[in-house]
Amino acid sequence: MGENFLSPTYLILLLITITRLISTVGKTEQWKSLLLPEISNKLREDPEAIQGASRDYGNLIHDVPAGVFVPSSVQDIATLIKLSYNNNKVGDSVPFSIAARGQGHSTKGQAMARDGVVVDMARFREGGNGVGITVGGGGGKQYYADVGGEQLWIDVLRAAMEHGLTPVSWTDYLYLTVGGTLSNAGISGQTFKYGPQITSVLEMDVITGKGESVTCSKQTNSELFYAVLGGLGQFGIITRARIALEPAPKRVKWVRFLYDDFSAFTKDQERLISINGSKQKNRLDYLEGMLLMHQGPINNWRSSFFPLADHPRIISLVTQHRVLYCLEVAKYYDDQSEVNVDKELQVLFQGLSYIPGFYYEKNVSFVEFLNRVRSGELKLQSQGLWDVPHPWLNLFIPKSQILDFDSGVFKNIIHKRNITTGPALVYPMNRNKWDNKMSASIPDEDVFYAVGFLHSSGFDNWKAYDAQNREILQFCNDAGIKYKQYLPHYRTQEGWTNHFGPKWGTFSERKHQFDPRMILSPGQRIFNNN
């Protein structure tokens, strides 16, 4: 599984890269002759750069670009896009496509640009030439961080914490870029309370598909603002986002409960997330849930939590039930609230229907809690298991259909196929914490669940996981489950039209307005899927 560089997939990729490079060299030369002298030396065509931009975390799709652009300034990005937009004829691609690539943590080639140009935002960040991170506000006004689209959330956290501040809405893993998560939504256990990350954005600088640099917010250029948030990179490249900050707590009570009954588990999750109003003091700060299945270890890479001494009794319970459901919650506190935190949790936990005796608690620092996935990543990296294929499937399921999903998917497809490894997440969120004007597409119900199958597979067996994912989607279609994919991937125009539903008209009008020549993020395959 870890022998990535010796695998047949790797060798095939190398061959494809070389063949493509030979066939696109003519085209690239034509572009390069058009590139302004000050940016032409920023286009990389060496195999290392090309291969890096032809793969992502999914390791399943490999679209080879003609070049990789490493900007030295925001202006360079605008110049590149303008060049493509104004270009009438370059080889047989008119104009050339451009994709910003954050960390390439997508799983289905969403940050790739076949025969086009990939803008390497990671190198842009490493060169220190982007907007960086600046904390501002205060004095009675909202605190905020002005953050380059190329920045990592972990660095936003560190910079904000230096001022005793923090963003409120997170992803489980923090080594993702601001531009990348804002192009999707950015969800985690805080979403039920604060909404996804896209709702914490106050203002942005965006370079549109016409190469124009535009500052946008809810008040100014609002159409672009709403388009870009959750917009899958279709309308512009985010070069700066202003993120709202709040005072940071110091520590976190982090609790897990085990359930053997899905209906009791979801009922408790739903009750806990119903306490979410800003005036309701006694509310949680984070709520997620996951499946524990007999195929996998009970502590997975996303977090090790259960004490070793308890593993045998948990494993025996999993073996008995085949699947357990783990409710995970957290409450933040600081010096002032420390005296009350246990009491408040006790009140909240009254009446929960977990299996008696299967309650686990940890007390950790705020940063340790938010950065909980990192140690698992480093461990996998050291074992060569991070760069394996990741045939992930992420869905939003309406609350009214989550029990049908449980019986059809968790209790049937997953049991039958018996291959699921890696984390499987299930947790609810409140629709009223999302902003429907933004591009992100979610189910039309007050409460809906995020369900994530975060598989790692070998190079030789990823197709079995892919087949399972397809069977799950087929089951949902047949059962009339009105799901939406998160981090979506569709192969047909019809798939995209259904995905956006009533928002499709607005989405495609905005595309024609802000990227009329269909230049940006072609790897999403929304407007170029034939």
State the catalytic residues.
105, 172, 288
How many angstroms separate the Cα of 497 from the Cα of each of 232, 443, 469, 505, 507? 14, 14, 20, 9, 10
The reply to whether 191 sits near ligand FAD by the rule CB under 6 A is no
The reply to whether 199 sits near ligand FAD by the rule CB under 6 A is no
Q: Which tokens belong to 426?
A: 């299930």
> Contact region for ligand FAD (CB under 6 A) — 88-96, 229-237, 255-263, 338-346?
229-237
Q: Strand (E) positions, 236-285?
A: 236-247, 251-259
The reply to whether 496 sits near ligand FAD by the rule CB under 6 A is no
| Residue 231 or 249 with smaller CB distance to ligand FAD | 231
| Residue 103 or 468 with smaller CB distance to ligand FAD | 103
Neighbours of 407 (CB within 10 A): 11
> Contact region for ligand FAD (CB under 6 A) — 5-13, 175-183, 286-294, 341-349?
175-183
Confirm if 440 and 184 have CB atoms less than 8 A apart.
yes
Cβ at position 173, least distance to ligand FAD in Å: 3
Cα–Cα distance, 403 to 398 (Å, whole number): 10
Chain Cα centroid distance, residue 378: 19
Cβ at position 138, least distance to ligand FAD in Å: 27
Write the interaction track for ligand FAD spanning residues 253-292; mark x where CB under 6 A is met and - where it is not.
----------------------------------------
Cα–Cα distance, 227 to 367 (Å, whole number): 32
HSE-up of residue 181 (Cα within 13 Å, Cβ side) = 26
Q: Please tell me what DSSP assigns to residue 407.
A: I
Write the interaction track for ligand FAD spanning residues 98-137; mark x where CB under 6 A is met and - where it is not.
-xxxxxxxx---xx---------x----------------
438's CB contacts (< 8 A; 6+ apart) are 198, 199, 226, 229, 230, 231
The reply to whether 209 sits near ligand FAD by the rule CB under 6 A is no
Residues 57-86 that bind ligand FAD (CB under 6 A): 57
Q: Which of 238, 272, 284, 290 binds ligand FAD (CB under 6 A)?
A: 238
139: alpha, beta or left, given left = phi > 0 and alpha = psi -120 to 50? left
Cα–Cα distance, 335 to 250 (Å, whole number): 8
The reply to whether 208 sits near ligand FAD by the rule CB under 6 A is no
The reply to whether 169 sits near ligand FAD by the rule CB under 6 A is no
> Contact region for ligand FAD (CB under 6 A) — 125-133, 165-173, 290-298, 415-423?
165-173
Neighbours of 416 (CB within 10 A): 10
The reply to whether 181 sits near ligand FAD by the rule CB under 6 A is yes
| Residue 333 or 372 with smaller CB distance to ligand FAD | 372
| Residue 185 or 324 with smaller CB distance to ligand FAD | 185
The reply to whether 190 sits near ligand FAD by the rule CB under 6 A is no
Tell whether the torsion through CA atoms of 509, 513, 517 and 522 is positive or negative. Answer: negative
- Interface residue list for ligand FAD (CB under 6 A): 57, 99-106, 110-111, 121, 149, 171-173, 176-177, 179-181, 183-188, 232-233, 237-238, 487, 521, 523-524
